[in-house]
């Protein structure tokens, strides 16, 4: 693995949890209680309160620049 690929992999994350609208913006709250704020992301209204998975780049201590977000199948 080259240095660029290793760097890219360390800044990417896939997160699952409940999508909520918090004072800091839309966020995923994991089962462990962690809050990941979704940077510059506007979900569909029917996704709020649902269990979702998102993948993207970490852009802050608890912020994720979302590449994609999907609702988990029941």
3-26 exposure pattern, b = at least 16 Cβ within 10 A, e = fewer: eeeeeeeeeeeebebebeeeeeeb
Q: What is the pTM of this model?
A: 0.82
**Tell me, what's the pLDDT at 9?**
59
Which CATH code fits 3-71? Answer: 2.40.50
What residue ranges do the domains of the chain occupy? 3-71
Q: What is the pLDDT of residues 23-38, one digit of tens each?
A: 999 999 999 999 999 9
Residues 6+ positions from 20 with CB-CB distance below 8 Å: 26, 27, 28, 29, 48, 49
């Amino acid at each position: 693995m080259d240095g660029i690929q290793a760097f890219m992999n360390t800044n990417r994350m896939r997160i699952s949890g409940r999508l909520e609208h918090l004072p800091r913006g839309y966020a995923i709250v994991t089962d462990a209680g962690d809050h990941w704020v979704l940077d510059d992301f506007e979900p569909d209204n029917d996704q709020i309160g649902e269990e979702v998975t998102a993948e993207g780049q970490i852009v802050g201590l608890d912020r994720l620049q979302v590449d994609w977000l999907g609702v988990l199948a029941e």
